[in-house]
């Protein structure tokens, strides 16, 4: 599969970078610390007091790892973009992912900010290990 993706990317003049899938979705992409999942498998709680959907965390952590393999100016551009990500952005993106998954409905209350359950334990659908998004 990697070869097929690599071939398709090459056809379009793109380069494929492989990064480790290790702990991408369990680590806070801002603080680099392990999150807990008190509300179910999707929503991580950073020990620093904010929430992030594990798919959002995963993408950002993979990007961070990719900077180690990118050429200088590209690595710097990605690092600069990542450094602009704050807790508020993480929570907004996480809300959008939950909405897209149908886990919450609009209009939404600011449940993330209130640290209330968005996906009560046992109500999550599919993806029990929440590890989609791996490369
Ligand atoms: Zn954090």
Gap from CA of 60 to ligand 1 centroid (Å): 12
Rounded distance from Cα 18 to ligand 1 centre (Å): 25
35 alpha carbon – ligand 1 mean position (Å): 8
d(CA 7, CA 33): 36
**Centre of ligand 1 from the C-alpha of residue 65, in Å:** 17
**Which pLDDT score is estimated for 68?**
92
**Alpha carbon distance 94, 59 (integer Å):** 12
pLDDT on residue 120: 52
The CA 57 to ligand 1 mean position distance, Å, reads 10
Task: Compute the distance from residue 52 Cα to the ligand 1 centre, in Å.
Answer: 8
CA 74 to ligand 1 centroid distance, Å: 25
pLDDT (tens, 9 = 90+) of the chain, 135 residues, equals 889 999 999 999 998 889 988 999 999 999 999 999 999 999 999 999 999 999 999 999 999 999 999 989 999 999 999 999 999 999 999 999 999 998 776 554 555 555 545 555 554 444 444 444 444
Give me ligand 1 centre to Cα 37, in Å. Answer: 13
Q: How far is the CA of 44 from the centre of ligand 1 (A)?
A: 9
What phi and psi values does residue 28 have, to the nearest 5 degrees? -65, 125
Q: CA separation (Å) from 115 to 46, 93, 99, 119, 120? A: 11, 15, 17, 11, 12
pTM of the model: 0.71
């Amino acid at each position: 599969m990697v070869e097929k993706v690599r071939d398709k990317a090459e056809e379009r003049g793109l380069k494929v970078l492989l990064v480790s899938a290790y702990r991408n979705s369990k680590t806070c992409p801002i603080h680099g610390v392990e999150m807990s999942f008190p509300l179910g498998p999707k929503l991580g709680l950073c020990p620093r007091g904010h929430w992030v959907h594990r798919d959002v965390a995963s993408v950002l952590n993979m990007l961070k790892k990719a900077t180690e393999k990118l050429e200088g100016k590209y690595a710097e551009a990605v690092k600069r973009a990542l450094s602009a990500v704050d807790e508020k952005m993480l929570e907004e993106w996480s809300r959008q992912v939950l909405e897209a998954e149908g886990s919450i409905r609009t209009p939404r209350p600011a449940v993330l900010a209130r640290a209330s359950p968005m996906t009560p334990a046992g109500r999550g659908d599919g993806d029990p290990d929440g590890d989609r998004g791996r490369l």
